[in-house]
Structure 1
Amino acid sequence: MKYNRIAAIAAIGVAATLSLTACNGDDTGAASSSQGSSSSASSSSSSSSGGGSKQDGGSESSSESGNAQSGSGDSTGAPDDAANGATETGDKVTFCKTEDLAIDAMDTAPDAQTGNIDITMINRGSTTCSATGFAGVDIKDTDNTSNPIERGHAQPRITTLKPGDAAVFNLSYTIDSSGNSLSHPTNILVTPPNETHTLSLKWPEGAADIKGAYTDVQVYPTHTTK
């Protein structure tokens, strides 16, 4: 009987232990499952947040790209403005027409070595116009040939003419004082900037002889007289 009671008590203890272990295992599993769900939810939230952040970043990048393109498109330098007939205030005006300009040539040599001829263009039209850039110039010789004049190294300046305003450009060359010049100019053929109609002017009386050939003469861009 004594051994039977001890065996029974031992059996009860083992059963209790097994029951307690089973309970702890369930609690641990539940906790683990809860933590797994929490971790999964956190991961999902983090992933969603990360996706939103990338989307915001992409939108910002697209905006900056658009601004850069717009800036690039709007950003213009003086040569572009000059080519488009822009004024200093950014307004657009049409180019001066040859028929609206009174054009004259005058010898303005500063010394005995440097030949200089100023060609003045006065706006006789009724509206403001642009004379910005280089005029086309040919010099006609006594042998009836026309010789194109090359551009000097200078940056065009915005030259806007209100009615009655004047613009000037000049021809520059080295004077031949030998008396043996091979150039014998009679006329200056002027085509205003961005025009196709040409006007013929008399070579200024008293202007010094050109040293070398007509290719040694240079024309410079227009500028206002104010």
Structure 2
Amino acid sequence: MRSNTTARTARRRTLRIAAAALTAAAGLSLTACSGSDITETKPAAHADTGKAAAESSGAGSATGEQGADAQPGPGAKDGAKAGASGKQSGGAQAAAGGGAGSSVERCHTSGLKAAFATGGDAVPDPDADGATSTSIVLTNKGGSTCKIGGFPGVDLKTENGGGVWSLQRSSAKSHGAITLKPGDSTDFTINLALTKEEEGFWQPAFAVVTPPNETTSLTLDWPWGALVDQRGATRPATFVNPIG
């Protein structure tokens, strides 16, 4: 009986030890699996983070490509504002520069003096039979530089002021603006059809000159003889040419 009991006890111990060993092995196996899962999870998490960072970095490029459809971040807004400010500043400087370059005003009537040129070849030929001219000189009598160009207005008036002949312009092109410093002069010519006939003539007493783009005039005494009366003509032989 004892030997049988001893034998059974020995077998039970062996079974318990074997079971314990199997349990321990199973526990170690589970621990290893569990540990393996954790280890693999962490790299996976890091990989996702890296991917998200890459996508985030790529989002900036996408925003740049999308332009106005994208919603830029605060930094992008600040950058855009800075860029816009820079452009506006540059534009303002350019405008200021342009303003400085074009600050010379046009010549006003009050700053000009007019006179017929009476020296040398400037005097019209009374025997030219309508193919002659006279010149009117405009001088900057002011204290600042000014610009003048284009066609002046010229009205010829009789002694009593009862008649006015507004001269037509020639077909010549304007020479552009001329800069006159204080004391500088320029001129324009008037083609004349002088006549000595006792009929069909017009005798001016005054020449009223209105500078370009002005509304006030300068009045000069007419120093020459009578003109062929062509006030109603389509292409009269007496007409005004541009300044310069």
Which residue matches 1:120?
137
Structure 2 stretches lacking a partner, 5+ long: 1-10, 62-71
Residue 35 of structure 2 is aligned to residue 23 of structure 1: yes
Give the structure-2-normalised TM-score: 0.58
Alignment equivalent of 2:164, drawn from 145, 158, 173: 145
Alignment equivalent of 2:110, drawn from 90, 97, 119: 97
Question: How far did 1:63 drift?
Answer: 1.5
One-letter code of the match for 1:204?
W
Higher relative contact order (CA 8 A, sep 6+): 1
Question: How far did 1:24 drift?
Answer: 1.4
Question: How far did 1:215 drift?
Answer: 6.1
Q: Distance in 2 between matches of 1:220 and 1:160?
A: 16
Q: Distance in 2 between matches of 1:213 and 1:201?
A: 25
Residue 224 of structure 2 is aligned to residue 204 of structure 1: yes
Which residue matches 1:90?
none
Cα gap change, 1:108 to 1:17, in 2 (>3 Å): farther
Question: How far did 1:22 drift?
Answer: 0.6
Question: How far did 1:62 drift?
Answer: 3.4
SS where residue 87 of structure 2 aligns?
helix
Which residue matches 2:241?
219
Q: Distance in 1 between matches of 2:85 and 2:29?
A: 66
Cα gap change, 1:153 to 1:136, in 2 (>3 Å): same
Residue 148 of structure 2 is aligned to residue 132 of structure 1: yes
One-letter code of the match for 1:160?
L
Give the structure-1-normalised TM-score: 0.61
Which residue matches 2:202?
184
**How many residues are paired up?**
205
- Range with greater deviation from structure 2 (189-198 or 33-42): 33-42
Tell me if the contact between 1:189 and 1:200 (Cα under 8 Å) persists in the aligned partners: yes
Question: How far did 1:40 drift?
Answer: 5.3
Question: How far did 1:21 drift?
Answer: 0.9
Question: How far did 1:199 drift?
Answer: 0.6
One-letter code of the match for 2:156?
I
Alignment equivalent of 2:190, drawn from 171, 177, 182: 171
Structure 1 stretches lacking a partner, 5+ long: 86-93
The percentage of aligned residue pairs carrying the same residue is 16
Tell me if the contact between 1:139 and 1:147 (Cα under 8 Å) persists in the aligned partners: yes
Question: How far did 1:220 drift?
Answer: 0.5
SS where residue 199 of structure 1 aligns?
strand
Q: Distance in 2 between matches of 1:176 and 1:212?
A: 16
Structure number with greater Rg is 2
